[in-house]
Amino acid sequence: MGAEVVVEGLTKSFGRQTIWRDVSLTLPPGEVSAMLGPSGTGKSVFLKSMIGLLKPDAGRCEINGVDIVTCSERKLYEIRKLFGVLFQDGALFGSMNLYDNAAFPLREHTRKSESEVRRIVLEKLDMVGLTGAEKKLPGEISGGMRKRAGLARALVLDPEIILVDEPDSGLDPVRTSYISQLLMDLNAQVDATILIVTHNINLARTVPDNIGMLFRRELVMFGPREVLLTSDEPAVKQFLNGSRIGPIGMSEEKDEATMAAEQAHIDAGHHDGGTDDVRGVVPQVEPTPGLPERQAVRRRKDRVMQILHTLPPSAREGIIDSLTPEERDRYGIQSGVHATLGNRRPSPRPRNQEWQPAEGTLDTEVANLPRSDWRGGP
Ligand SMILES: Nc1ncnc2c1ncn2[C@@H]1O[C@H](COP(=O)(O)OP(=O)(O)OP(=O)(O)O)[C@@H](O)[C@H]1O
């Protein structure tokens, strides 16, 4: 199972420019999480901070009990071996074929024999669907194939944590769906903790178990996918819908006057730039038939059911509605309980924190969470 990553109060500035402050979140082990946010909000800076390529000014980022913000260079070097990173363009060496690119970390960081290197490289190239392309140079293949090759290289050291920076960049919507499927397949096969940085709403809605969003130099929210996908937060709604109407502006957040002028424009019948309202929980991508089940699914359900009472009502509805009859039974959810859970409004959300307990009795009314024979079960 992948490693847990615990981030607490992380703050990063460049000179006088604060990129984000006081970011706290936990990447649950083996689950897939995504970080959204308008351009320039520091998503890539966040990824780089997590592997110690950039040093935050304050806060902690703890992996396997080691705080990589304050640890020694030697410890950091060790911890980095737990990571596999897919950079936006695959970051392949242009003069090496795909085989040698994928073999590079093994030859650099291990003493494995060439026959062992060969076995691992061919296995990982196969996992990403590049069998037969070993001799191709990066310049001879499509952007999608380069990303796959980058993923194969990220996998050769059997990472516990995989960071993926904009897997959709430069790809058409169909290839983006294929890369989404690939990420879920890899998660099923290796059970690594995955963090994806993306702008792609389709990917964000269908792939991750957890979603966060950076905006205005803060983490607006982070938690189970159902929370962000049903959120009423204006910046989140605007971002999901790709609309001009809302607090996100051309390069920075907007002032009141600009928002009012834009609203007047829309009221006069002009299009807001978005398409349909895409708020709501849609089914997640599942691993390709024949692959193992994602072990994270059951762990996540168990985890999310334990914090159900802390989530806003619309997220609870989405979670409960997604349970199978067997799961309802296992979690002790009374039959007939579904959308009626949404009558109460969410209590005000403390900024930059995961959802806090809301008042009310929902949890004890509808669920005995989780039942002891379910937790940690087979
Ligand atoms: N090494 C650096 N030195 C100074 N400023 C930097 C450095 N790296 C990033 N920045 C600044 O940090 C801010 C956030 O950049 P980052 O690339 O993380 O944004 P992003 O959210 O990933 O954007 P995009 O979605 O467009 O990729 C930008 O203003 C950028 O100029």
Q: Is the CB–ligand 1 distance for residue 42 below 6 Å?
A: yes
Is any ligand 1 atom within 6 A of the Cβ of residue 40?
yes
The sign of the torsion formed by the CA atoms of 196, 201, 205, 211 equals positive
Measured N-to-C along each axis, helices 98-109 and 143-155 cross at an angle, to the nearest 10 degrees, of: 20
DSSP 3-state of 201: helix
Q: How confident is the model at residue 175 (pLDDT cuts 50, 70, 90)?
A: confident
Buried b (16+ CB within 10 A) or exposed e, 209-242: bbbbbbbbbbbbbbbbbbbbbbbebebbbbbbbe
Q: Of all protein residues, whose CA lies closest to atom 24 belonging to ligand 1?
A: 39
Record the pTM: 0.84
Distance CA 135, CA 137 (A): 7
The rounded Å distance from CA 40 to ligand 1 centre is 5
- What per-residue string of b and e applies to 187-196 under the rule 16 or more CB within 10 Å gives b? bbebbbbbbb
The ipTM estimated for the assembled molecules is 0.97
Our separate counts of H helices and E strands in the chain read 14, 10
- For residue 54, the ligand 1 atom closest to its alpha carbon is 1
Closest C-alpha residue for ligand 1 atom 28: 40
Give 11-64 pLDDT, tens digit per residue. 999 999 999 999 999 999 999 999 998 888 999 999 999 998 899 999 999 998
45 lines ligand 1 (CB under 6 A): yes
Specify the amino acid at residue 100: D
**What does the pLDDT look like over 106-116, one tens digit per residue?**
998 899 999 99
Per residue in 64-83, is it b (16+ CB within 10 Å) or e — as a string?
eebebbebeeeebeebbebb
Say yes or no: CB of residue 252 within 6 Å of ligand 1. no
The residues pairing with 60 across neighbouring beta strands, listed in sequence order, are 8
Residue 271, both tokens:
């299009």
**Does ligand 1 have an atom closer than 6 angstroms to the CB of 38?**
no
Give the model's pLDDT for residue 99.
96
Res 114: pLDDT: 95
CATH number of the 5-220 domain: 3.40.50.300
CA of 88 to the centre of ligand 1 (A): 13
Can you name the residues that pair with 212 across neighbouring β-strands? 35, 222
Residue 51: C-alpha distances to residues 10, 45, 61, 62, 146 (Å): 13, 10, 9, 11, 22
For residue 197, the ligand 1 atom closest to its alpha carbon is 22
Quick: pLDDT tens for 163-173.
Answer: 999 998 888 88
Tokens 């059951």 belong to: 298
Residue having the nearest C-alpha atom to atom 17 of ligand 1: 44
The protein residue whose alpha carbon is closest to atom 4 in ligand 1 is 14
199 touches 214 (CB < 8 A): no
| C-alpha 42 – ligand 1 centre gap (Å) | 5
41 lines ligand 1 (CB under 6 A): yes
Q: Write the DSSP symbol of residue 54.
A: S
14 Cβ closer than 6 Å to some ligand 1 atom: yes
Q: Outline which parts of the chain fall under CATH 3.40.50.300.
A: 5-220
Please work out whether the CB of residue 55 comes within 6 Å of at least one atom of ligand 1.
no
* 162 CA to centre of ligand 1 in angstroms: 20
The H-or-E segment that residue 320 falls in is: helix 313-321
For the residues of 175-242, what is the DSSP string, one character each? HHHHHHHHHHHHHHHH--EEEEE---HHHHHHS-SEEEEEETTEEEEEEEHHHHHT---HHHHHHHHT
Name the DSSP letter for residue 283. Answer: P
Instruction: Give the strand order in the sheet containing 58-63.
Output: 17-27, 5-14, 58-63, 66-67
Give me the mean pLDDT over the 325-353 stretch: 58
